[in-house]
Structure 1
Amino acid sequence: MSTPNNLPINHVAVSVRDIEAVTAWYTNILGFQLIGNRIFHIKRSESPAAPIFAIYGESLHEVKLAYMATGNGVGFEVFQFVDPPPFEEKPERATSGAFKFQSEYRGTGFFHICVTDADPRALAERVVAGGGQRQGEMVRVAAGTASCQYVRDPWGNVVELLDASFDRTATADVVRGS
């Protein structure tokens, strides 16, 4: 087994109850920039083939999503799960056995980190070989630009594996399926 490269953090994601307030605070207080000056509102009824629905499964019907840029190029992704709504408190993470991602994503607070790697499929295999688990399917989140796979480390933490930079992915057409 080869030694992995020192992989960069691609972005950090946070689940919130009020995306407008959170993006305003991070802009005003920390100087993060809202990429494209917009918050996406994605509904399964309007965009059933959107990649997010392949990742989060049948239980997700509506979500708001904002991409923010930080000063060092690490992205800050803000989610507000609308339907179903978030839990009051995040449920205990599953570290073995049944994988509870479809209910856990509804908890507020940080819920995954993302690393960039040229071959997310191979990296996912290394994660599994190292005691982790896959989450959902490998998906192409932007035509010709980005593939991602979600995995879980052996302690239950969710990590997204992405083959493109955060800014490249966030500026592509990533929220609508075809």
Structure 2
Amino acid sequence: MSGAAQGLAGSLAFHHAAMSVPDIEAAAQWYEDVLGFRVERRFAIPGGTQAMFLEREGLRIELFQVADPRPMPVERLDPREDLKTLGNKHAAFTVADYDGFRADLIARGIEPVLEVGEAFGRGLFIRDGAGNVIEFLER
């Protein structure tokens, strides 16, 4: 196959990353206060699930709150350990000013869980207010 999938018509663009949270209102407030996202749309899913899309500059995060959620396994909190569990790992975003962004997070009381330096640039991982891991990469 070439760079484009054979037999697949049209172009693809990223729409959103999704995560379950114990308190959708608290999570939305965290994403607004810390990362500047705003509520784009709220909706319900049959069975009692609350959901919403948050948006910032064309990026979207979808949040879900379900009744009787199971807690996040402790190994999912560490990006290195989470690699050992099959499934989605984290949402990742690029930042134009890595050092400034990192300093802003720390000033807000958010400590990196893990920092990496690769040939393609630096990155850091944090956890949101519900424990979900998010990565930020130097653009």
Q: Normalization by structure 2: what TM-score?
A: 0.44
